[in-house]
Amino acid sequence: MSGPGYRFLGDEEKALVNRALDGWQINRYRFNDSAEPSMVYTLEREFEQRTGARHCLAVNSCTSALLTALAALGVGPGDEVIVPGYTFIASIAAVVHRGAVPVFAEIDESLTLDPEDVVRQITPATKAIVPVHMLGAPAAMDALRRIADKHGLFLIEDVAQACGGRYRGRALGTIGDAGAFSLNLFKIITSGDGGLITIANDAVYERAFAFHDHGFKPLRRGVADADSLFGMNLRMHELSGAVALGQLRKIDDILGTLRKQKTALSDALGALPGVTRRRINDPDGECFSFLVLQFESVEVARAVAHRLGTSTLIDSGRHYYGNMPQLLGRRMPTASEHPFGCQAHTTDRRYKPNMLPRTDDILGRSITLSVGVDDSYLGSGFGINPFSSPDEIAAVAGAVRSAVNELVART
């Protein structure tokens, strides 16, 4: 199981790692002014150039990226943060560990936040919205940006599964106040583990840098000002930075290959009875890493998934709120229930199964075919990979058509 970036690992990444090792440069800092810039520093600057982000900061995971972004924007005890019911558990954990309260909103047929339901969830305590660009495709960022601006809320993009994606010409992660990216094994580009943050505001960037590295100013040019946060150690390792830099430099090849493969699979599938395709908010801006089929009933979707040896999205791992035992049955908060406990915010908000009926229905009727991300935990354990041959693509399409035609006909 892996993501597309893993399959593209090659001599370019090895050369950069070896260059770091040749001089035993294994820390992101260069304390000798004559030394060449670090791999991590170069990665940050090249990511800024590619995305148009004002600032980029490399960290050790996307979870750290989310936590750092929330901290830098001042989200904490007493605040509510709106998140989708379909995401990875890290999007929720980062909110919880800031002492804030996750508030769930429905998704729509794009499998991303439904802007209309986001509006319904806003209260005086709401501080931020976290749209998640699930399965490589963008959320409805125009609508969400308008909502955030109207209500004075921060917009933090979770771009873990959509590095390189765009929305109406803008790079994902640059439309909100911050963006969080993942570089783990299952992502568009990888360094094994790692994360990136894009930030639009200079002061927020300084706070983010301080939070990720013990309160220091950017690039450790002195201790940050007195109003900075107590920092942690969330830095990216130099060897991870070297691998990620090599991957970033080939991301156009990766995305171009995924587009070609998804187009070939989609054409080979053709029209399927009783099946629609996932709505993509910007068809030119997706990463083409998945192909989602949506059925008319949960029963047929589960039967087809079983025939193919995969699962519906509602039956996949901790990407669906109903599969998160840390969350369900909890009351927010009491002072003793760390990390849920927070004396500053005594709410009776509860989390329970089936609290998002539209999300449950959509995920129950949806099956994901892999194009570049082979991950049964995510529900994409069946499909093709970036280097599948035309014959292999035809075989996968034939298996899907056969299962759908037989099982839809029974209903």
pLDDT tens sequence across 238-277: 999 999 999 999 999 999 999 999 999 999 999 999 999 9
Q: Report the pLDDT value the prediction gives residue 338, as an integer from 0 to 100.
A: 39
* pLDDT over threshold 80, residue 93: yes
* pLDDT over threshold 60, residue 344: no
Give yes or no: 262 in active site. no
Residue range(s) of every CATH 3.40.640.10 domain in the chain: 4-251
As a whole number of angstroms, the distance between CA 270 and CA 400 comes to 11
* pLDDT over threshold 90, residue 167: yes
As a whole number of angstroms, the distance between CA 394 and CA 124 comes to 53
As a whole number of angstroms, the distance between CA 28 and CA 35 comes to 12
Name residue 400's amino acid. V
- Residue 156 β-bridge partners: 178
Q: What is the mean pLDDT of residues 56-78?
A: 96
> pLDDT tens, 212-226?
999 888 887 666 665
As a whole number of angstroms, the distance between CA 4 and CA 389 comes to 15
> pLDDT tens, 25-60?
899 998 776 678 999 999 999 999 999 999 999 999
Q: What would be the CATH architecture of the domain defined by 252-409?
A: Alpha-Beta Complex (3.90)
Looking at the chain, the whole-number percentage of residues with pLDDT higher than 70 is 92
The better pLDDT of the pair 352, 173 is held by 173
Q: Report the pLDDT value the prediction gives residue 317, as an integer from 0 to 100.
A: 82
Q: What is the pTM (predicted TM-score) of this model?
A: 0.94
Q: What would be the CATH architecture of the domain defined by 4-251?
A: 3-Layer(aba) Sandwich (3.40)
As a whole number of angstroms, the distance between CA 1 and CA 332 comes to 36
Residue range(s) of every CATH 3.90.1150.10 domain in the chain: 252-409
**Residue 407 — pLDDT band, cuts 50, 70, 90?**
confident
Q: Assign residue 219 a region: left if phi > 0, alpha if psi is -120 to 50, beta otherwise?
A: left
**Residue 230 — pLDDT band, cuts 50, 70, 90?**
confident
Instruction: From the candidates 14, 187, 217, 262, give the one annotated as an active-site residue.
Output: 187
> pLDDT tens, 325-339?
888 765 544 444 434
